[in-house]
């Protein structure tokens, strides 16, 4: 494999890779070649899997991470991506983080074709124990962050065949216990998707869709330990396709499908990827 040239400068960390023609073997699937995707919260978990999926289709990728402590993880992921990738430190839960991310992406690539609103956090507690601190942290990231990042991208979104994809959750419609605030914020994302799918395509030439994962074996779930997984098993046992969590790449494939040029007539869809655990 050719060597990578590392160029690091705050707040953007860049890895310059060779042009596609010099990559051996050349990617077989280049349906997104020449396009650029911004994926919030993408240095691990579902976001990282989406980055790998879109890269495998020839897409340039902007990795996003919220804290400097995650820079090495983001750089390691960026180094795996072709044709080109950068990693940008921007906290989407802040008022200026979304604009910082978009500005860095536009400075590097000039335009944005795909926005994936993935950054989110969850709290699972009895209703009585959920606090205003929980409210603020979830609403600011899951709700306001999605809102502001989408507003920030619109002036730079390609005017033809662009995509906005929101990562929702089956919690937004399944309404599980102990997820009052989380399910509420994902309900916001669900409604954002429907509103934007009607309003934005005529003005910006985009489609707007959502992907709603069920339980997915991310680093966060794995770190919760065997006791938590055992507690989750009765829920997983209800999944028709198999009594397990999803793999992140299974969710990423759903996103990749919606990004394809041939998916241009799909708009306003909330694509549930839960193995049938939730069927609306």
The set of catalytic residues is: 182
Whole-angstrom Cα distance, residue 275 to residue 239?
6
CA distances from 3 to 18, 71, 81 (A): 9, 20, 13
Whole-angstrom Cα distance, residue 114 to residue 93?
20
Among 117, 198, 188, CA closest to 153: 117
Whole-angstrom Cα distance, residue 267 to residue 272?
14
Query: Alpha helix (H) ranges present in the chain?
Result: 45-56, 71-78, 97-109, 132-138, 146-153, 171-174, 180-199, 201-204, 219-223, 226-236, 248-259
* Phi and psi angles of residue 112, each rounded to the nearest 5 degrees, phi first: -130, 130
Among 87, 72, 107, CA closest to 40: 87
Per the CB < 8 A criterion, the answer to whether 213 and 46 are in contact is yes
> Per the omega criterion (within 30 degrees of 0), is the bond before 62 cis?
no
- Report the chain's terminal Cα–Cα distance, integer Å: 46
Among 64, 80, 77, CA closest to 12: 64
């Amino acid at each position: 494999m050719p060597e990578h040239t590392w160029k690091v400068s705050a707040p953007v960390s860049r890895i310059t890779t060779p042009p596609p023609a010099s990559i051996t073997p050349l990617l077989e699937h280049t349906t997104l070649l020449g396009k650029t995707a911004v994926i919030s919260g993408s240095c691990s978990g579902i976001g990282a899997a989406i980055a790998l999926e879109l890269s495998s289709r020839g897409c340039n990728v902007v990795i996003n991470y919220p804290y400097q402590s995650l820079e090495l993880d983001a750089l390691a992921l960026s180094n795996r991506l072709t044709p080109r990738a950068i990693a940008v430190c921007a906290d989407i839960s802040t008022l200026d983080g979304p604009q910082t991310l978009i500005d860095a992406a536009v400075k590097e690539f000039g335009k944005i074709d795909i926005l994936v609103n993935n950054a989110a956090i969850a709290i699972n507690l009895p209703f009585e124990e959920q606090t205003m601190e929980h409210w603020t942290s979830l609403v600011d990231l899951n709700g306001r962050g999605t809102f502001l990042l989408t507003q920030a991208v619109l002036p730079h979104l390609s005017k033809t065949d662009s995509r906005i994809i929101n990562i929702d959750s089956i919690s937004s419609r399944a309404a599980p216990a102990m997820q009052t605030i989380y399910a509420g914020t994902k309900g916001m994302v669900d409604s954002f998707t429907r509103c934007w799918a009607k309003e934005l395509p005529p003005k910006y030439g985009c489609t707007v869709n959502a992907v709603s994962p069920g339980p997915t074996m991310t680093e966060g779930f794995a770190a919760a330990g065997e006791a938590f997984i055992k507690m989750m098993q009765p829920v997983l046992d209800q999944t028709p396709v198999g009594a397990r969590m999803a793999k992140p790449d299974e969710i990423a494939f759903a996103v990749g499908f919606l990004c394809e040029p041939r998916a241009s007539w799909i708009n306003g869809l909330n694509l549930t990827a839960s193995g049938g655990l939730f069927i609306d």
